[in-house]
């Protein structure tokens, strides 16, 4: 058998940090998608190129950025 001590405060802090990291990653992804959307709207890149850079199908990219 082994000993295990659970620390509620440490667990709560770890969960908060994990949530913050996920939120930051989502924000960065959203920012990249919006930047690609702007490039498409001003004609700098094609919709096909933007969707490829985002790693998505054209339809998925359109839905994600609401084109």
CA pair distance 26, 57, nearest whole angstrom: 19
Domain boundaries, the chain: 8-65
Across the 67 residues of the chain, what is the mean pLDDT of every consecutive 10-residue run? 75 86 90 95 96 95 90
Closest residue by Cα to residue 36 from 8, 5, 2, 64: 64
DSSP state for residue 36 in the 8-state scheme: H
Full-model pTM? 0.73
Q: How far apart are CA 36 and CA 54, in angstroms?
A: 8
Which pLDDT value is given to residue 2?
Answer: 66
Q: Report pLDDT for 41.
A: 95
């Amino acid at each position: 058998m082994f000993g295990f001590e659970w620390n509620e405060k440490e667990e709560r802090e770890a969960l908060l940090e994990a949530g913050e990291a996920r939120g930051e990653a989502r924000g960065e992804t959203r920012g990249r998608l919006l930047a690609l959307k702007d490039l498409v709207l001003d004609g700098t890149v094609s919709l096909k190129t933007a969707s490829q850079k985002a790693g998505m199908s054209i339809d998925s990219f359109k839905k994600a950025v609401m084109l």
